[in-house]
């Protein structure tokens, strides 16, 4: 006789979304280089080159560039272009921090840039990164892998040590604190990122030019504040951040189907394939106690419906002590 399948009542069919130990697809390349200009000039578009940088092993080259705040005896803090062996990078985000408060407002020398630039699929094995601008420039370059072309959300806040940005799971967020020394009183020497891993802290002269760069892999969809802490805070700073999405965005982990077999005290669950190595299924009678593992080693290889390329279906025996429960709640977690 065929066992009759019945759907659990709505209260019993609740599935709780938990990303568990989901990992970002985009990865930091682990290689970076930083440099600064050696001269100050009143002539526009003076190229300042870093030494050779091997970006051939990355699918995205990222450059953070910052200029000094100008004053009447030096030109505007401005960055016009960034190139890699002559190929132009795209500016994803920039910010003009608080201006030096001397001189007529129509004079542009009281501006400072902190900016994030990128180039998809850099092919040169040992290229030169060049910046063009109108004042001293400091720059940090590094590579990323696993990124989609282009960029996602951006944010720039001034004067501030923090900025809030929403990013998608699987992406990576690059954030930077920049200062340009308005009044020669800004300092990034002691700044540290509160979110993510620091790549570089480039402080040229302790009070007129520098930046701090960090990255963080994103595992959940939520707005997050990317902030920096400094032991000698100043108003002449700003924060910029940019999201670089994954080339293979993560699939949301959620239970999409649930069936209860009362005659055998079993439950059948269905959820999307996310590419995770394994899954853990937990149950709770009250949404508080999640210590009951139904199975902690479910893989795509144990899928009961292999003809469905997008979902995993598995049937689980419920613990005897939960037989006859009025309500049961199920939760999924991605394993390592």
Is the model's pLDDT at 44 over the cut of 60?
no
Adjacency order of strands within the sheet including 79-84: 46-53, 127-133, 79-84, 87-88
Tokens of 277: 């190595």
Identify the CATH number of the domain in which residue 311 sits. Answer: 2.60.40
Closest CA to 237 of 131, 155, 162: 162
Is the domain of 77 the same as that of 226? yes
Model confidence at 41, pLDDT cuts 50, 70, 90, reads very low
Residue 167 lies in a domain: yes
Looking at 244, 279, 314, which one is the last position of a domain? 244
Residue 2 is assigned to a structural domain of this protein: no
User: Does residue 229 sit in the same domain as residue 304?
Assistant: no
Could you tell me the two tokens for 96? Answer: 């003009």
Token representation of residue 326: 């009025």
Instruction: Please report, for residues 11, 46, 89, 124, 138, the alpha-carbon distance to residue 81 in angstroms, rounded to integers and kept in the order given.
Output: 58, 10, 7, 18, 13
Summarised one tens digit per residue, pLDDT across range 239-284 is 999 999 988 766 677 888 888 888 888 899 999 887 778 889 998 8
Assign 132 a pLDDT band (cuts: 50, 70, 90).
confident
- Do residues 277 and 149 both lie within one domain? no
Task: Tell me, yes or no, whether 234 lies in a domain.
Answer: yes
In which band, very low, low, confident or very high, does the pLDDT at 222 lie, cut at 50, 70 and 90?
confident
Left (φ > 0), alpha (ψ -120 to 50) or beta: where does 275 sit? left
234 and 326 inside one domain: no
Q: Are residues 133 and 200 in the same domain?
A: yes
- Residue that terminates a domain, selected from 228, 244, 260: 244
**Are residues 57 and 196 both part of a single domain?**
yes
> Are 304 and 165 within one domain?
no
The domain in which residue 37 lies consists of 27-244
| Average confidence score pLDDT of the chain | 79
Give the pLDDT confidence score for residue 52 in this predicted structure. 78
**Within this chain, do residues 227 and 91 fall inside the same structural domain, yes or no?**
yes
Total domains in the chain come to: 2
Question: 230 near 161, Cβ under 8 Å?
Answer: yes
pLDDT bucket at 225, cuts 50 / 70 / 90: very high
| Angle 319-320-323 from CA coordinates, rounded to 5° | 100
Residue 6 lies in a domain: no
Last residue of a domain, one of 212, 244, 276: 244
Kind of pairing, strands 154-157 and 79-84?
Answer: unpaired
Residues 6+ apart with CB under 8 A from 301: none
Give 99's pLDDT tier (boundaries 50, 70, 90).
low
Please report whether residue 36 resides in a domain.
yes
Same domain, 294 and 238: no
Token reading at 270: 């269905």
Round to whole Å and give the CA distance between 165 and 324: 46
Cα Rg, the chain, nearest whole Å:
26
The more confident residue out of 90 and 247 is 90
Q: What is the pTM of this model?
A: 0.69
299-323 confidence digits (pLDDT tens): 888 999 999 988 999 999 988 887 7
Q: Are residues 231 and 273 in the same domain?
A: no
């Amino acid at each position: 006789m065929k066992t009759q399948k019945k759907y659990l009542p709505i209260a019993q069919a609740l599935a709780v979304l938990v990303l568990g130990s989901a990992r970002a697809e985009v990865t930091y390349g682990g290689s970076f280089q930083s440099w600064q200009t050696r001269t100050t000039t009143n002539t526009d578009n003076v190229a300042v080159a870093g030494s050779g940088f091997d970006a051939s092993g990355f699918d995205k080259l990222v450059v953070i560039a910052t200029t000094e705040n100008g004053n009447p005896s030096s030109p505007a803090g401005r960055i016009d272009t960034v190139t890699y062996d002559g190929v132009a990078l795209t500016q994803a985000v920039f910010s003009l921090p608080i201006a030096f408060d001397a001189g007529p407002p129509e004079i542009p020398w009281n501006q400072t840039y902190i900016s994030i630039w990128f180039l998809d699929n850099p092919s040169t094995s040992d290229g030169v990164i060049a910046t063009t601008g109108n004042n001293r420039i400091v720059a940090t370059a590094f590579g990323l892998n696993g990124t989609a072309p282009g960029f996602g959300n951006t944010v720039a806040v001034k004067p501030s040590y923090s900025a809030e940005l929403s990013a998608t799971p699987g992406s990576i967020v690059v954030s930077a604190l920049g200062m340009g020394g308005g009044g020669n009183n800004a300092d990034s020497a002691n700044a540290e990122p509160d979110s993510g891993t620091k790549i570089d802290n480039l402080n040229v002269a302790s009070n007129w030019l520098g930046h701090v760069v960090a990255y963080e892999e994103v595992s959940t969809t939520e707005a997050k504040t990317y902030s920096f802490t400094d032991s000698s805070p100043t108003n002449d700073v700003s924060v910029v951040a940019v999201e670089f999405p994954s080339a293979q965005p993560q699939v949301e982990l959620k239970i999409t189907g649930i069936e209860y077999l009362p005659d055998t005290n079993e439950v059948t669950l269905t959820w999307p394939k996310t590419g995770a190595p394994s899954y853990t299924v937990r149950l709770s009678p009250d949404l508080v106690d999640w210590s009951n593992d139904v199975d902690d080693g479910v893989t795509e290889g144990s899928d009961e419906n292999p003809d469905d390329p997008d979902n995993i279906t598995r049937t689980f025996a419920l613990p005897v002590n939960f037989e006859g429960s009025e309500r049961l709640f199920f939760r999924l977690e991605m394993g390592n």
